[in-house]
Amino acid sequence: MNRLVSGWFYDVMSLRLIAALEDMGVTELIVGRRRHTFLQDESAKSVSLKLRGSNVVFYHFGSMTEGTTTPSMGSDIDTLYCNDGVNIMSGWPEWERGRENLLMVKHETCSPQHYRLQEARRDLPLPLTQPYDEYCVTDHDGKIYRSNKGIGHRVRQINADANLPYFHAGPSHSFSEMYDFVPAYRCRTLPAECDSWFTRSRPENWPTLEMLQVARELGCFLIPDGHCFSEHSDVEWRVSPSLIERHLMFSMETIHTQCYVTLKLLKKDTINPYLNGNGKLTSFHCKTALFYAREQLLPEMWTVDRLFDCIMYCLTLLRDWTTSGHCPHYIMDEVNLFDGKIDSEQRMHLHAILTIIIDTHLAPLAFVKTDSLGVRLLHNVYTVAIWDMTPRRAVNQGITGFLSGFGNVQQMTNVRDILHFTAGCSPDAMCLYLHSLITQPLQQLHRHRSEQDLCRLDVVNRDSLIRYLQQHLASTAASICLQHGIQIGSRIWSWYSAAMNTDVASTRLKLASMLYCKGDLQLAAVVLEDVERRYDNTVQAMCGCGRMDPLVKKPREAFTEAVNDENINVLSTNRVAYCVSFLPQEAFCVPPFLHYEMVRAVGDDIQHSHPADRDWMNWAVVDSRPFLHYLQYLTFRGLGFRHRQKQALRSLISSNLDGFRHGQLFHPETALHLATHCMEMENRPDLALQGYLASQSRIPRNNAANWHIRRLTRIQ
């Protein structure tokens, strides 16, 4: 069937495939949301590290960031962390005194994509002559090279010390199979291997001259990953132009993304299951085909009615490469991407499979099960109701909910990482530390002229991080005042005020808690009423204490429905309620009952705590909804409003039951303790004891219930 004959068929099927892909969330809006969320997180992490004086910069790469995935693809989250403290030189003139300097050396044994890194002195622009640790490898000619094994060994040791699992794949070292963390250094100069890409002729003018100029600025990384066939792979570092590739992907339109996603679905469901052996076609092979197709095809080919033609073109490119045995890297075309991935026998299989897909005009698409693509295509052909298919709106809500959960949890994790540094500080020292952070000007991250959006995000993220820190600064400073009977000054009020919009509830509840402890019950009641009014059924509880895995936890439908109707930014701080956390330095702003949470470990309990919980084991952390009703109970009790006090108790109990039933409580033991404490105040120690015993039976260690049981059984 030539193009003339197949024309009508391809046109119709292209439109149906696009409808099916849009049903799966491959739309401009969802792709934009994915990109924004991950770039936002990349910037927030890097800003948070910069505030702490670190030279490490985070980058997210891969399908999650590019938006080239679907809910059922099971894509992991690829992160690269670049140590900008190390000066990677292409020649001795780039040497810098006092810095860690490494010289890129193109050794005769290195493949086109690999370099060795020669150790250099810090005081003089000369090679190092004596190794200083076991990761310095001395060659037969006496030169000392940096091994690529050191970083991985250190990560494995850190994970072992923290009792965390360790996963290793290629250059990635991680605590989870779903997260890839790749260490890197930044090449100061673009390696010569990339030169030909900039100068080769391009009839269709893609990438444009502007894009090439930006690409030059973005440069390359070196990552610790030797060539698969090299005898000296442990001293080789691979050139990675991931930032350039990401820039190219971000320049793609939705039609290109849809072409790439279809190739990946075919790879996953149709090609790799039929490839014998351990090798496989990777997403990167598909992406390479897309880059070449984007460069070679006329712009008018990339239209919605010609998607089938574009996919066929990419598949034909891949098949041609299986014939030649060389799959050329898009930027360094001497590099063969089949090396180490697909051997010659598998290439023959791959050739045969690709031939079938091409000759049958993409018929295997009808059998793709991932995200029910095949079913969706049939549905769009026959317009019949198919049961096994999630409607488009529900798919979009699911993706948006995941993105919002991910973005918010990461945001809170950044704050927790900063507060982690205050462990053991006196309240005064903590105030000084936090104050120094919030008044520190934003140090320039490693940004290029082209990254204006990221620069803007850096400013937004810095302001956002500062808001969270002001919440803790205000509470710590107020705690010092309450402890010493000093009046709370205007600066402290202004910090509370500046932190008010971290989310719907946490800062307001901390303010109400302080007012209650101060004895200002009238004002506390006003603040609590404000929180209750804002906390409608579209508000989602979020936890950054390691108890909410956004890859697993689904936010409530009312929340995702509301966020799905909003803009590209899914953080939606006006719809989320974070856990409320009090550090020991804030003790005088917390109702005394919660002090027990700050000493929840009894004996050697801490050794048995979950690694993710250790950062906050001596904090009082509570879900915002039950804490709201607990504070209402205390406040109305103090004001003598018995009717409203009883109402607050009923709400507290129902927030426990609802939250527990729907998995919306992240600190259920603490929420239960608040309710049982109210039982004590209602003069029902028998019920309270039952509650504490239930809590203890669920969480025997690191649980304040152990103290409460001792307390109550001593009284009885």
**Shortest reach from residue 547's CB to Zn ion, in Å:** 6
Chain residues that interact with Zn ion, rule: CB under 5 A: 543, 545, 579, 666
Q: Which is nearer to Zn ion, 86 or 617 (CB)?
A: 617
Q: Which is nearer to Zn ion, 635 or 695 (CB)?
A: 695
Q: Which is nearer to Zn ion, 11 or 417 (CB)?
A: 417
Whole-number Å distance between alpha carbons of 509 and 623: 11
SS (H, E, C) 521-572: HHHHHHHHHHHHHHCCCCCEEECCCCCCCCCCCCCCHHHHHHHHCCCCCCCC
DSSP 595-645: GGGGG---TTGGGGS-GGGGGGTTSEEE-HHHHHHHHHHHHHHHHT-HHHH
Is the Cα torsion angle 300, 304, 305, 306 positive or negative in sign? positive
**Shortest reach from residue 412's CB to Zn ion, in Å:** 8
**Shortest reach from residue 616's CB to Zn ion, in Å:** 8
Q: Which is nearer to Zn ion, 182 or 579 (CB)?
A: 579
Bridge-partner residues for 580, per DSSP? 622
Q: Which is nearer to Zn ion, 25 or 659 (CB)?
A: 659
**Shortest reach from residue 545's CB to Zn ion, in Å:** 3
For 620-651, b/e burial (b = at least 16 CB within 10 A) is bbbbbbbbbbbbbbbbbbeeebeebbeebbeb
Q: Which is nearer to Zn ion, 372 or 664 (CB)?
A: 664
Report CA 125 to chain centroid distance, whole Å. Answer: 39
Is the Cα torsion angle 602, 606, 610, 616 positive or negative in sign? positive
- Separation in Å, CA 654 to CA 551, 629, 650: 27, 10, 6
**Shortest reach from residue 666's CB to Zn ion, in Å:** 5
**Shortest reach from residue 667's CB to Zn ion, in Å:** 6
**Shortest reach from residue 564's CB to Zn ion, in Å:** 25
**Shortest reach from residue 542's CB to Zn ion, in Å:** 8
Whole-number Å distance between alpha carbons of 676 and 698: 15
**Shortest reach from residue 580's CB to Zn ion, in Å:** 9
Whole-number Å distance between alpha carbons of 172 and 225: 9
Secondary structure of residue 167 in the 3-state scheme = strand
Residue 404 · residue 564 · CB < 8 Å: no
Q: Which is nearer to Zn ion, 18 or 545 (CB)?
A: 545
- Separation in Å, CA 16 to CA 9, 12, 368, 382: 11, 6, 15, 11
